[in-house]
Amino acid sequence: MRVLRERQFCRGPGVGSLRESAAIAIDQRAERARRMTAGAEGARAAARSHRRLRALLVAYRGRATRVRDTASRSAAIPQR
């Protein structure tokens, strides 16, 4: 899903370069291969760890932006 979201960002006019989209495609292919080779348990564990990392990142970003005032926070949200 992350890869799809990144690709949507790249599709915009003049946003992502060709190299970026190629890297994303390669990443997607590697991800698919990894998912195929890994057992169901491995995939589940990977998804769980990814989710945990994601939550940590969101919490950290929220804390980091909350330290500053709300004006800079609204400016700091679309970082991609």
pLDDT, tens only, 22-38: 777 878 888 877 766 65
* Total of domains in the chain: 2
**Contact partners, residue 46, CB within 8 Å, separation at least 6:** 34, 38
Domain range for 69 is 40-80
**pLDDT computed for residue 43 by the predictor:** 65
Mean pLDDT confidence for 68-72: 52
Same domain for 79 and 47:
yes
Quick: pLDDT tens for 52-67: 777 777 766 666 555 5
Same domain for 33 and 1:
yes
E-strand ranges in the chain read none
Lowest mean pLDDT across 3-7, 45-49, 52-56: 3-7
- pTM of the full predicted structure? 0.25
For residue 69, CA distances in Å to 36, 63, 64, 75 come to 46, 11, 10, 10
